[in-house]
Homo-oligomer: A and B are copies of this chain.
Amino acid sequence: MDASQGRFERIQVAPAYQLVAEAIEREVVSGRLLPGEPVGTEAELVRQFGVNRSTVREGIRALEEGGFIQRGPDRRLYACLPRYNRLSSRMSRALILHEVTFRELFSVALALEVASAEQAVAHITDEMLERLEENQAEIEAAAQAGDAARLSEADSAFHHLVAKASGNRVLLLSREPASLLFFPTTELICRRVPEGPPRLIVAHRHIIDALKARDLEQARLWMSRHLHDWQRGFARAGRDLDEPVERVYARSLPPGIAV
C-alpha cells in the first residue's frame, strides 16, 4: 500500500520507548524532577507508564545517553541536567571525526580566548583573581619540575578560569569543544620547545595583571600574543598546522577524549 498520495497524512506513532523517554525528559527539563532526585525504580516506571519493563529499559538507555538521567553508585537512576562537559566532549569527538586541522582550531580559539579575556576584565571577581594566582603558582611549579603534562593541564585550567571569570556561560560552553582539543598540545610544545614554558608564564602573568588592573587593551593584547606564541611553538615543535588533529593525537591522546 502506497501512502504517498491521498487525503490524509500518514499517522505516525512513536514507539513506546520513545514516549517513555520523552515523558521523563520533560519532567527533568521542566524542573518538576530536579537534578539529583531519584527517578524511581524500573518497576515503578512500569506501573506509571503501563508498559513492559523491557520497553521502560529501552527508554532509560536513551535518556542515559542523552544525559538526562544517571546511574548512582547504587545503580539506581537519578535525574540530572545534561552537563556541558558531556556535550563538549561529544562535540570534540565529532571534530576529530571530521578531521579538522589545528589551523581551524587555532582561529576559533583565538577569537574565543580573546573574547574571554575582554569580558573577564569587566566581570572578574577577587576570588577568581585569587584562583588565577594559585594557578600561576602551580604552573611555575610544574615548569620548575619540568613536568610537561602537569603544566599542560594547568594551562588548560588557566584558560578555563579566564572564561569562567568572564561570567558568560555561553562563552564558557562555546569555547570548550575547541579548547578540549587545542590546549592539550601545550604538553607537546613544552616538551620540545625549551623557551615555551617561560614565555607561557610571562604571558599568563601579563594577562592576570591586566585583569587585576581592569586594563582591557592589555588583556586583549597579551591573550592574543599568548595564542600566537602557541602557534609559533607548534610550528617549532615540528608540527604542521594543517594536519588533522587526530594524527597529532594518534600518539598521545588527551585524557577524556577516547576515540
Contact = CB atoms under 8 A, between A and B. Distances in A.
Interface of A: 17, 29, 54, 57-59, 61-66, 81-82, 84, 87, 90-91, 93-95, 97-98, 100, 104-105, 107-108, 110-112, 114-115, 119, 168-171, 173-175, 177-178, 259
Interface of A is mostly: helix
18 contacts: A17-B61, A54-B57, A59-B61, A61-B62, A62-B64, A82-B93, A84-B94, A87-B87, A87-B90, A95-B169, A95-B170, A100-B170, A104-B169, A108-B170, A110-B115, A170-B178, A174-B177, A174-B178
**Complex A-B, nearest 7 residue pairs according to Cβ-Cβ distance, in ascending order:** A65-B65, A61-B61, A111-B115, A62-B65, A104-B170, A61-B62, A104-B168
Contacts of A98: 81, 169
B119 A115 contact: no
Contacts of A177: 170, 173-174
Contact of A115 (B65, B108, B173): B108
B173 A91 contact: yes
A169 B90 CA distance: 15
Contacts of A104: 168-171
A79 to B, nearest CB: 12
Nearest to A75: B15
Contacts of A114: 111
| Among A59, A90, A91, residue most surrounded by chain B Cβ atoms (within 10 Å) | A91
Contacts of A61: 17, 58-59, 61-62, 65
